[in-house]
Amino acid sequence: MSRVRIWVDGCFDTMHYGHANALRQAREMGDVLVVGVHSDQQILENKGPTVEPEEDRYEHVESCKWVDEVVRDAPYQTQLEIMDQFACDFCVHGDDVTTLADGTDCYSLVKNAGRYKECKRTEGISTTGLVQRILDNSHPPSGYAEKWLPIFRNTFPPSGKRVYLDGAFDMFHIGHVRMLKQASEHGHVLVGVFSDEIVVQRKERCVMNVYERCLSALSCRYCYDVVESAPLVITKSFIEEHKIDLVINPYSWEDRFQAAKDMGIYLELGLEQVSSDYLVKRILDNHQLYVARNERKQEKAIVEEQLAKRT
């Protein structure tokens, strides 16, 4: 029996747990998930400026644990020829309508060909919403993300060496992905995700709440599990409780790791600091550009909602 190959495409800008949940649902419909990612230019023409450049977005999607293959510079309107080129049986998209700049349904061709299936859109999260949180300096919402944690978690414990690495992981981005990938070279990575309170204490803002940040880490193939609201200071009892074989400090600064040093299970990677501040700064430095982007997206959303009611 031939394997069922699924096509999903999108922008995947500031990739979040809503994107990951769509990919998870799509992957459950078949055997191989092929993901097409649009270029910066195509997104600019049809939606507005991206927050993350295309090369980062390509790499970020490749790191998602439910993705098997990535197609770069995929057309904004899904094409049957592209699906055939990659031997995909059908296309999956969320239960909302996405349109081109001229109002055309991006999935009209595959719908007409009978090669279209839907998954449920994840409530409470979107790139537009994240950008708006930054523009408004608003607090992250609660009540949406928590329920997905058991579903995103791996169902079996890893065998072999367990390594621990912690941080805020706010606006989970390609720098976080690369850090976790490097840590995974030393074993299975257990990720400690700081509480909202600790994140605010250590920097000026917290764009995503702790559950959203946990889900971002859990969607990455280089993370096997997370510790929610992880402690800032890592103690011997914490290490023993979580059966940690190695504690990793990604940087060469911060003195929170004395217990791991005393136990002889401490490693520094000496990386440059990974922070979401550059994403926030890009949005704030181009405030009017992103305000216009969100306004344009909201106008499109009204048209897309009307179109959805007619289909």
Rounded distance between C-alpha atoms, residue 306 and residue 105, angstroms: 12
Burial code (b: 16+ CB inside 10 Å, e: under 16) for 234-244 equals beeebbeeeeb
Is residue 100 scored above 80 in pLDDT?
Answer: no
Place of tokens 């296309």: 91
Q: Which of 9-23, 74-88, 153-167 has the least mean pLDDT? A: 153-167
For residues 170-184, give the mean pLDDT. 95
Least confident of 178-182, 222-226, 271-275: 271-275
Per-residue pLDDT tens digits for 103-153? 778 899 999 999 999 999 999 999 889 988 988 888 887 788 999 999 999
* 30 or 100, greater pLDDT: 30
Q: Residue 62: CB partners within 8 Å, gap ≥ 6? A: 70
How far from 49 is each of 93, 149, 152, 168, 294, CA to CA, in Å?
A: 22, 31, 30, 26, 10
- pLDDT of 36 above 90: yes
- Chain Cα centroid distance, residue 22: 11
The DSSP code sequence of the chain is -PPPEEEEEE--TT--HHHHHHHHHHHTTSSEEEEEE--HHHHHHHT---SS-HHHHHHHHHTBTT--EEEET--SS--HHHHHHTT-SEEEEESS--B-TTS-BTTHHHHHTT-EEEEPPPTT--HHHHHHHHHHTPPPP-SSSGGGHHHHS-SSPPPS-EEEEEE--TT--HHHHHHHHHHHTTSEEEEEEE-HHHHHHHSS--SS-HHHHHHHHHTBTT-SEEEEEE-SSPPHHHHHHTT-SEEEESSS-----HHHHHHT-EEE--PPPP-THHHHHHHHHTHHHHHHHHHHHHHHHHHHHHHHHH-
Structure confidence at residue 162 (pLDDT)? 96
Return the pLDDT at 58: 98
Q: pLDDT value at position 275?
A: 78
Residue 38, class by beta-carbon neighbours within 10 Å (0-12 exposed, 13-18 middle, 19+ buried)?
Answer: buried
Which residue, chain included where needed, has tokens 């409780």? 241
pLDDT at 143: 80
pLDDT of 87 above 90: yes
Tell me the CB-side half-sphere exposure of residue 105, using CA atoms within 13 A.
19
What's the average model confidence in pLDDT over 204-233? 95
Q: What is the mean pLDDT of the chain?
A: 90
Helix pair 277-285, 287-310: axis angle to 10 deg: 90
pLDDT given at position 293: 66
Window from 10-14, 29-33, 268-272 with minimum mean pLDDT: 268-272
- HSE at residue 3, side-chain half, CA atoms within 13 A, is 11
Q: What is the mean pLDDT of residues 257-283?
A: 88
Give residue-wise pLDDT tens across range 248-266: 999 877 789 999 999 999 9
Between CA 130 and CA 205 the distance in angstroms is: 13
pLDDT value of residue 273: 74
CB 57 within 8 A of CB 13: yes
> What is the reported pLDDT for 56?
96
- Termini Cα distance of the chain: 34
